[in-house]
Amino acid sequence: MTSFEVPEFTEETIFTWGAPPLKFGAGAVDEIGFELSGYGVKRVLIVTDPGVNALGAPQRLADTLRRYEIESEIFDGVHVEPTDDSMNKAVEYARVQGPWDGFVAIGGGSAIDTAKAINLLTTHPGELMDYVNKPIGRAMVPPGPLKPLVAVPTTAGTGSESTAMCVLDILSMKVKTGISHWRLRPTLAVVDPLLTMTLPPEVTAASGMDITCHALESYTARWYAHFDRKKPEERVTYCGSNPVSDLWCEKSLSLLARSFRRAVERGSEDLEARTDMMMAATFAGMGFGNSGVHIPHANAYPIAGMVKDYRPAGYPQDEPMVPHGQSVSLTAPEAFRYTFDAAPERHLRAAELLDPAADKENDPREQLPAVLTRLMRDIGIPNGIGGVGYTEADVPELVPGTMKQQRLLATCPKTPTEDDIARILANSIENW
């Protein structure tokens, strides 16, 4: 009998999939105190933004925590689309007012991502840029576990409650980047569709496109076994598409097909549609949080970071911004034209899941872009990057911002050059 041996593999044979425990359903937010009591915490910081705080959910949460003898304080200084400046201010507040045994983030991706940064930088030494991904930051690895973090999304979109990353704008560089490490993943995701009933249609549309792109990019990402073999300490959070992530993304796309347009049209009175959207967001988060996203998200970072004077309806009007869900969707049709050759069957399957009744295009390459553009028109997404203020003259300035997102581009099924990205951006000035 020969002894057990592992051959010398040159290509990857291993993928890792992870997600936090999930509590899902109408009224789930009232059970957070019970859940936190199981972690032995006595003092927690509730992280939110002014808009969500004004609606009363954070205070209701604080009241329920008190019943479990958990002291809490509400920090509502989260900036919509966080910046290095807003995150540093939040971290400084938490450091001064601490120590904390745990954290609850209640809000959109901005609140959840800010809470991840607070948790990291109040638990371990260092500053924000120490942990930001290369080449913008130093990409230091968190030296140990973080404190319990319960993530409570109030928008159906980011999937941040499931993922191991946080995203921010670096103001001085006019670029979006992030921190990515499995230790950032929340301890528990509590998803309550009732928290999304008051969302304006424009926010529902933008955040829903974020879900859509998460699922599509994850599903079409490079297959995990097509990467070079890595040592365990070298493996990154994004490991490429894999059988487990695929299942979550497929289900997410089916839920979007059923309920996305309904949620935009009559979200304030359609709990079923809101529930489907929250579940789609969570499922897509469980997919892309492991497999990764690629070109649409990489393009989104400079599109958002270099915004001129675009102020979207349904959002705070005090400063220009391109909501993340809009910025990822604007180049998605053209990006999927580019990646089609790398995995035609996946692109066609994704299009079928997202719109089962869609007519078949004569050119298969056009199937997914056609399904996407029809959806975007129906729900009021701007027509390409021209719709948020960019012209062809801006393309050379946008390209370097995309190319800095090598963490994302690494999972693209084809490796894009600067010329490829420039062509995708130029062809996305108008999508229809």
Tens-place pLDDT, residues 321-334: 999 999 999 999 99
| CA distances in angstroms from 248 to 60, 195, 211, 251, 253, listed in the order given | 32, 23, 12, 5, 9
DSSP 141: P
Residues of the chain with CATH 1.20.1090.10: 201-426
One of 1.10.10.10, 1.20.1250.20, 1.10.3720.10, 1.20.1090.10 is the CATH number of 201-426, namely 1.20.1090.10
Residue 150: both structure tokens together:
């319960």
Q: Is the dihedral of CA 237, 243, 249, 255 positive or negative?
A: negative
Instruction: Report the pLDDT value the prediction gives residue 391, as an integer from 0 to 100.
Output: 97
- Reply yes or no: is the peptide bond before residue 99 cis, omega within 30 of 0: yes
Confidence of residue 262 (pLDDT cuts 50, 70, 90): very high
The pLDDT tens digits of the residues spanning 63-80 come to: 999 999 999 999 999 998
State in words which class domain 27-191 has.
Answer: alpha beta
Percentage of the chain exceeding pLDDT 90? 82
**Residue 187 burial (CB count, 10 A):** 19
The pLDDT tens digits of the residues spanning 357-402 come to: 999 999 999 999 999 999 999 999 999 999 999 999 999 999 999 9
Q: Give Cα 239 distance to the centre of its chain.
A: 16
User: Is residue 376 within 8 Å of 329, Cβ to Cβ?
Assistant: yes
Q: Which residue type, as a one-letter code, is found at position 378? A: D
* CB crowding 203-229: b at 16 or more within 10 Å, else e: bbbbbbbbbbbbbbbbbbbbbbbebee
Report the candidate in 115, 126, 118 with the shortest Cα–Cα distance to residue 151: 115
Beta-sheet strand order (sheet of 71-75): 22-24, 188-191, 149-153, 102-107, 43-47, 71-75
**Residue 427 burial by CB count (10 A; 0-12/13-18/19+): exposed, middle or buried?**
middle
What DSSP element (H or E) covers 96?
helix 84-97
Residues of the chain with CATH 3.40.50.1970: 27-191
Model-level pTM?
0.92
**Secondary structure of residue 422 in the 3-state scheme:** helix
Identify the top-confidence range among 6-15, 300-309, 339-348.
Answer: 339-348
